Chains A and B, each alone.
Chain A
Amino acid sequence: MKFFAILTSAFLLAGTAWADAVPGQAAPAFEIKDATGKWHKLADFKGKWVVLEWFNKDCPFVKKHYSSSNMQKLQQDYTAKGVVWLTVNSSAKGKQGYVEPQQALADAKERRAAPSAILLDTDGKVGKAYGAKTTPHMYVINPDQQVVYAGAIDNNDSSDPKVIPASKNYVVEALDSALAGKPIATASSRPYGCSVKYN
């Protein structure tokens, strides 16, 4: 029976690669260090709304939302309402957007970013578990730890910050409806932006 035990565990491990976070299904669990060195588990946030934001400081589409202060404002607004906002950096070492923890914190301060934590996913495990393809790729997770939104931040894939005021922000829509106890109209969209710089 040892053989079957090995077999089962081998497959369980193999099964974790490239699963996707699908709206309506359980959010893939993770355990990861943030830029301050603190460990976070998805299960720690049970009972809270969680936003995952895939980030790469050098990506023009990320810059679009930071240079306009759009992303910072969302982070401030929703963390003030008790939402956990996690900025995830899946850039592998040596790839575009990779930063050491100290630098990540310093950059965030300069950007006036206000996420609950900056997660450094250098080996891309969390990104691949969620199927994160682009920066910014956004996920909203409900207090029961189910994915309720996955996709783009808004409906305009231009890299020009000027289009933001006229765009429909899917994350805002999802969170506002959810916090008001209403159903979420758009549960998914095509994520736009730069490819996540996995190894």
Chain B
Amino acid sequence: MTWIRGIFSLFAVILLAGQSAAKETINADHVKVSWIAPSHFSGEETTIGLHFQIDPHWHIYWKNPGDSGSAPKFKFQSNQAVAGEISWPVPKRFLISDLTNIGYETEVVFPLTLRPHPRAEEVQLTADLEWLVCQEECLPGFGQLTLQRPISKSPAQWQRQELLNDFLKKVPVSMASSPWLIEKLEREKDELRLFVQSKNASLLSSLQIFPVEVDFLTPAAPLLSADGKAFIFKIQSTNTVQSKAAFVLADTNGSWEHHSVPIVTPADESDWTAYLILLLSAFVGGIILNLMPCVLPVLSIKFFSLAKVSAKARWREAMLYTLGVLLTFTALGGLFVGLRAGGAAIGWGFQLQSPPIVAALILLFWIMGLSFLGFFEFGNSLTRAAGKFENTGAFATGCLSVFIATPCTGPFMGTALGAAAVLPAGEALLIFFFLGLGLASPFLALAFFPKIRLPRPGMWMVTLRELLAFPLFATVLWLLWVLGMQIGTDAWLYLTTLGLVLSFCIWLGKGRTVLWKSLALAIALLSLGLTANWVVKAPLVASSSSRVQQTVWLDYDPRLIVESKAKAQAVFVDFTAAWCVTCQVNKKAVLDTDAAQTIFAKHNVRLIRADWTNLDPVITEALAAFDRASVPFYLFYPADGSSPQILPQILTLGNIESLFQK
């Protein structure tokens, strides 16, 4: 069979070749190719064009075709003239499944110049063409076009010359006239950061950037960095990185080809400054944590209890506390780094993504609150067990502070934690260490400056202690809400019942005989066991329960973003978690206000909420794509398909408004 087919196709080729002798148009599958040229040439150099008309939904390719496909190929032969090179108008990106293609749809004109020889009377140009036209499937096309024209001084007739001129305007021009300045192209591990400045204060987000014949860069649209100064390209792990790269920069006013941009790796020195700044922000973030409502009650009790002890004991206590904080932070950090090394994408706050840990914290805070109120004193027999919080348990308080501080991720911590997620293990651990140092700083100050005078002990301490029971109870309420989000509203019933039973047991055992105490202990243990069993087995429900609350927000799905992009609809993504206090504040104070919703509705913004209350690998991965490992995190994809913008961690209505001011 094959040989019959072979002969047949041979005939077909001969037939085609015979036909195409003087062809000015090719009608192929899904593509029509024709010349845009004058009726005759004047003898001067003239720009002509090759016009590709493409069926709807099909596309052909740019010179860098992207993840798949291939660029059209042109071979020219001219008689009595010199043909120049083909120019490539600015293309656009297409998303085919997960792959990015770069090319043209509907139609494109590739301009080229033709310069007749002096004294030529007629010029002839033959173009051997090969192209690939794709929808999801691809069809190759071949063909030959010829152009034969006399030379004459009389005015020439054109057809479709405006179209040729339109596309000529879309051909990137020399970087010398570019309104954009490429400051530097910096390599950072598997990324290239292209730092761009506008010479006329245009917004970087209005810019489209295409890598030219750079096979070590992924063709997907680059992301704009958090500070809005650089575009981030991912490096193709399979390809060798060259020393230079070229890019086409395009905005609504034109396009420019910036070639031979050298790739630099940040010098060690600046690397170190950047890292030192990270450590510093980790430290400052740690200090701020002390003031967060999650930490303050536990901390202040411990802090002021030091007023009662001698300077020497104070030093010891402060150091123990610091040790507790540092060890716990580094251990959590180590776990974080370890899981990451095991191929995991993981984010900060993962402790609170576990319902049993949240439940344990609820009970702990409830009992501490009761104790703070004086419902029970840690009496003789219980001193060793529970009294540790106030006297010998400086170390334990340190450990506890770290755990309960997690949900209060503050402004400085986001950057530091994000960096920790991508830095090598050692450097990442040091960042956790500095967060710990910041958190422990008030105690460290006490240890190193024993002269600092704490207020004299007295009745005020009892009053303060009682007062601080209330923030603890508030924390209990909040954690109950978190647990409800994680495993359903039954959590309220179970946990509050357990709280009641435990309170009863404490009352039962208080100041009675050993028999009563044993009974109390037995009931307490039984109810603890039953509840723990339920909590561990309860299925996770987070995403569905948060949907009930808010119908405007869609659940996170990366396909929604792609879909909106295709429809030129803007998208706002809210990465949040029930256990993240900052997220809840932003939500109530900004995102879910009528003012913000009106703005979103007016600009037809698609609202997407990525709920990270429970572990969700898809969301973790989405965060990691922006070098984040913690929430809150806010993303805005403009309607024009330009690079997404990252919003600050503490939102204001102004942030939302400014998204739409151009």
Contact = CB atoms under 8 A, between A and B. Distances in A.
Nearest to A111: B2
A60 B139 CA distance: 7
A59 B138 contact: yes
Contacts of A39: none
B350 interface: yes
Interface residues of A, number: 44
B237 interface: yes
Given A60-B139, A60-B140, A188 B342 contact: no
Nearest to A20: B237
B356 interface: yes
A170 interface: no
B136 interface: yes
Interface in A87-143: 95-96, 131, 133-134
Contacts of B240: 187-188
Given A7-B350, A11-B344, A14-B617, A190 B339 contact: no
A8 B344 contact: yes
A4 B343 contact: no
**Which of B73, B101, B357 has the most chain A CB within a 10 Å cutoff?**
B73
B68 A134 contact: yes
Contact of B136 (A19, A96, A191): A96
Contacts of B522: none
A102 B357 CA distance: 54
A93 B442 CA distance: 63
Contacts of B344: 7-8, 11-12, 14-15
Contacts of B346: 7, 11
B287 to A, nearest CB: 29
A158 B99 contact: no
Given A11-B339, A14-B621, A187-B240, A195 B70 contact: no
B96 A195 contact: yes
**Which of B96, B99, B237, B335 has the most chain A CB within a 10 Å cutoff?**
B237
B343 A11 contact: yes
Nearest to A151: B238
Nearest to B96: A195
A189 B238 CA distance: 8
Nearest to B350: A7
Nearest to B9: A67
Contact of A159 (B99, B132, B342, B354): B132
A2 B350 CA distance: 14
B390 interface: no
A19 B345 CA distance: 12
A192 B132 CA distance: 12
Nearest to A58: B137
Contacts of B130: 158-160
A198 B536 CA distance: 38
Contact of A131 (B65, B142, B238, B343): B238
Contact of B357 (A3, A58, A131): A3
A103 B620 CA distance: 41
Given A60-B138, A159-B140, A195-B136, A133 B68 contact: yes
B218 to A, nearest CB: 10
A70 interface: no
Given A11-B342, A11-B346, A15-B343, A193 B68 contact: yes
B317 interface: no
B17 to A, nearest CB: 13
B67 interface: yes
A194 B68 contact: yes
Contacts of A61: 70, 138, 140
Given A14-B345, A96-B136, A7 B615 contact: yes
B68 A10 contact: no
A16 interface: yes
B96 A3 contact: no
Contact of B142 (A22, A133, A160, A191): A160
B116 to A, nearest CB: 30
B288 to A, nearest CB: 28
A14 B620 CA distance: 10
A21 interface: yes
Contacts of B257: none
B239 A189 contact: yes
A44 B136 CA distance: 35
A50 interface: no
A160 B140 CA distance: 9
Interface string B329-356: 0000001000100111110001000101
B97 interface: yes
Contacts of B101: 195
B358 to A, nearest CB: 11
A12 B357 CA distance: 22
Contacts of B142: 160
A12 B343 contact: yes
A192 B70 contact: yes
Contact of B137 (A10, A96, A131, A133): A96
Contacts of A158: 70, 73, 130
B98 A198 contact: yes
A12 B345 contact: no
A23 B97 CA distance: 25
Contacts of A11: 339, 342-346, 617
Contact of A195 (B67, B71, B339, B621): B67
Nearest to A192: B70
A183 to B, nearest CB: 14
Interface in B60-119: 65, 67-71, 73, 96-99, 101
B611 interface: no
23 contacts: A3-B356, A4-B335, A7-B350, A8-B342, A16-B343, A20-B238, A21-B238, A22-B237, A58-B137, A59-B138, A61-B138, A96-B137, A133-B99, A158-B73, A188-B238, A192-B65, A192-B68, A192-B69, A192-B70, A194-B134, A195-B67, A195-B69, A195-B96
Given A8-B344, A195-B69, 19 more contacts: A7-B339, A7-B350, A14-B617, A14-B620, A19-B343, A22-B238, A61-B70, A96-B136, A96-B137, A131-B237, A133-B67, A133-B99, A159-B70, A189-B215, A189-B239, A192-B65, A194-B68, A197-B136, A198-B98
Interface of A: 2-4, 7-8, 10-16, 19-23, 58-61, 95-96, 131, 133-134, 150-151, 157-160, 187-198
